[in-house]
């Protein structure tokens, strides 16, 4: 954990994706802007005025969901808010990852700081204190339908604010929330009117997962260009198809960037130069080589669309009811997760396709009938050794799973709350499967990099290009070169770590500078 991250100040405006990730992954401290705290106080006064009104106001003096017409007397309203959180903290299954929960909490805090939710300053101050203390509420895999907010996940976080439920300390120890708060010197919050509702009504869980996935995919799609370039090189493919004038004939932004990366990565490669003469009889490469910019580029454009949706959602105040700028308290439907759910599903499709193309290149490098003279399965002693045969099986198994996870979650809806909430987004489920998909893509790309590194070595005395050679050398710091069969699982894991921690990307950048 990086404890040296700069602070992130939350104002009434939107945090950036980078700010969110800094808090979620690097435990960057959160600071509350004084101007925004003033706005929180002003909106709270509006809620307190309405709480004394004889007319019922949803979430302030009424029940929730299908019970929205039930009036609650003022002496029962604190109980109402506590009961709401306790009853909605109904998740089940395995624990959700710490970074997702911290991202979710940062986003809920950001919405509270807009001054549109009507909570007291003590609520936002305590929420920030919990986050900064490294206390992570235990949130479970199942429980959100992605509408009326990520209710169960957010309720588990609100429960910790109340000093109830369970949490993990900064060191990962599982304790009851009261113990965690006491150790950090934080007093539990006794929720007042509207506050329980404000703490659980948002798209924060799915948006947290979207923001983290966008950050990961920015790096992984550049890594996909690197692995594809290494495959083109090792298969004696051509770099001519990545020329700028050809890309310009189809001005798709992502494709142009990917083609430029591939051309730079293969520039000055002795292996590529070795077969550029008239003696080369190959007319054109297979699609998995030739069309890499088209597929990688389409995935990049999908990420950019998802980024636009995420940035708009980061700028949102998602709650119901909401305190408007002119002081009204109005019910609304902004908690519906459809915008986020759609792009989460869209990204899962793109991830599956990029991984599928990568697996096809892996298979081509191992097939003696298609790998331009390399040994079958890149084996050391053909017949005795299996080489990387089963590494391709692993990639194929992952890709098959990614294709199943590309089936959209957002097309499903199961009505809830006695048909009051009769259409839901399933955005949380879309986010959960996208996280698994991103992890799968990293593993497939790692297998391609590992396979291409061995194939390039087997082209000796021909040498890789400066950038692809630097990547191969980085792989060699954790995985030996070609030789007799070895235990492959640790090698795949080691190269996957190089992919996920950015080492593969950094190796290419040290030679070429930043990639597109």
Note the pTM of the prediction, 2 decimals: 0.94
Q: What CATH class does 209-512 carry?
A: mainly alpha
The answer to whether residues 256 and 297 touch, using CB atoms and an 8 Å cutoff, is: yes
Cα gap 478→497, rounded to integer Å: 10
Tell me the pLDDT of the chain (516 aa) as tens digits. 344 568 999 988 889 999 999 999 999 999 999 999 999 999 999 998 887 777 777 777 766 665 666 667 766 778 889 999 999 999 999 999 999 999 999 999 999 999 999 999 999 999 999 999 999 999 999 999 988 889 999 999 999 999 999 999 999 999 999 999 999 999 999 999 899 999 999 999 999 999 999 999 999 999 999 999 999 999 999 999 999 999 999 999 999 999 999 999 999 999 999 988 766 667 689 999 999 999 999 999 999 999 999 999 999 999 888 999 898 888 888 889 999 999 999 999 999 999 999 999 999 999 999 999 999 999 999 999 999 999 999 999 999 999 999 999 999 988 887 777 778 889 999 999 999 999 999 999 999 999 999 999 999 999 999 999 999 999 999 999 999 999 999 999 999 999 999 999 999 999 999 999
At residue 421, the pLDDT reads: 78
User: What three-state secondary structure class fits 294?
Assistant: helix
CATH architecture of 8-202: Orthogonal Bundle (1.10)
DSSP assignment of 37-60 equals HHHHHHHHHHHHHHHT-SS--TTT
The answer to whether residues 285 and 217 touch, using CB atoms and an 8 Å cutoff, is: no
The answer to whether residues 516 and 218 touch, using CB atoms and an 8 Å cutoff, is: no
At residue 3, the pLDDT reads: 44
Cα gap 497→487, rounded to integer Å: 17
At residue 69, the pLDDT reads: 64
Tell me the catalytic residues: 58
DSSP assignment of 299-325 equals HHHHHHHHHHHHHHHHT----SSEE-T
Query: Are 8-202 and 209-512 the same fold in CATH?
Result: no
User: Domain coordinates of the chain in residue numbers?
Assistant: 8-202, 209-512
359, containing H or E segment: helix 338-366
The b-or-e profile of 386-402 (16+ CB within 10 A means b, else e) is bbbeebbebbbebbebb
Cα gap 218→214, rounded to integer Å: 6
Tell which residue, 93, 174, 161, 162, has the closest CA to residue 131.
161
At residue 1, the pLDDT reads: 38
């Amino acid at each position: 954990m990086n404890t040296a991250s700069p602070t992130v100040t939350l104002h009434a405006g939107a945090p950036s994706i980078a700010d969110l990730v800094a808090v979620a992954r690097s435990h960057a401290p959160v600071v509350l802007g004084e101007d925004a705290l003033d706005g929180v106080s002003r909106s709270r006064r509006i809620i307190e005025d309405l709480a004394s009104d004889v007319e019922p106001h949803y979430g302030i003096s009424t029940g929730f969901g299908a019970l929205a017409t039930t009036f609650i007397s003022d002496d029962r309203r604190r109980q109402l808010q506590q009961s709401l959180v306790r009853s909605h903290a109904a998740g089940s299954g395995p624990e959700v990852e710490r970074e997702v929960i911290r991202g979710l909490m940062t986003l809920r805090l950001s919405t509270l700081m807009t001054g549109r939710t009507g909570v007291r300053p003590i609520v936002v101050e305590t929420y920030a204190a919990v986050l900064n203390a490294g206390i992570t509420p235990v949130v479970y895999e199942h429980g959100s339908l992605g509408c009326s907010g990520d209710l169960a996940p957010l309720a588990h976080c609100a429960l910790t604010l109340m000093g109830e439920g369970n949490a993990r300390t900064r060191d990962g120890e599982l304790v009851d929330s009261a113990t965690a708060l006491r150790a950090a010197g934080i007093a539990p919050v006794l929720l007042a009117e509207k506050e329980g509702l404000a703490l659980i009504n948002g798209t924060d869980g799915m948006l947290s997962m979207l923001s983290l996935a966008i950050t990961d995919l920015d790096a992984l799609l550049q890594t996909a260009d690197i692995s594809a370039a290494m495959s083109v090189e090792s298969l004696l493919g051509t770099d001519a198809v990545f020329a700028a004038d050809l890309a310009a004939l189809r001005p798709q932004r992502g494709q142009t960037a990917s083609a430029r990366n591939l051309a730079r990565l293969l520039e000055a490669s002795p292996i590529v130069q070795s077969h550029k003469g008239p003696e080369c009889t190959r007319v054109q490469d297979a699609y998995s080589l030739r069309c890499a910019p088209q597929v990688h580029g389409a995935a990049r454009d999908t990420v950019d669309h998802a980024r636009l949706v995420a940035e708009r959602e980061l700028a949102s105040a998602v709650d119901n009811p909401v305190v408007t700028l002119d002081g009204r308290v109005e019910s609304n439907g902004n908690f519906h997760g459809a915008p986020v759910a759609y792009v989460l599903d869209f990204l899962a499709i793109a991830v599956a396709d990029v991984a599928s193309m990568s697996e096809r290149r892996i298979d081509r490098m191992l097939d003696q009938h298609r790998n331009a003279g390399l040994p079958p399965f890149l084996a050391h002693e053909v017949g005795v050794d299996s080489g990387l045969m089963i590494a391709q099986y692993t990639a194929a198994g992952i890709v098959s799973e990614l294709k199943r996870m590309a089936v959209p979650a957002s097309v499903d809806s199961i009505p809830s709350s006695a048909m009051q909430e009769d259409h839901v987004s399933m955005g949380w489920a879309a986010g959960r499967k996208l996280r698994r998909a991103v992890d799968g893509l990293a593993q497939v790309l790692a297998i391609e990099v590992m396979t291409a590194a061995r194939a390039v070595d087997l082209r000796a005395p021909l040498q890789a290009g400066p950038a692809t050679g630097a990547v191969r050398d980085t792989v060699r710091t954790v995985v030996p070169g070609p030789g007799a069969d070895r235990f492959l699982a640790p090698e795949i894991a080691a190269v996957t770590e190089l992919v996920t921690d950015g080492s593969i990307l950094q190796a290419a950048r040290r030679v070429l500078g930043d990639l597109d």
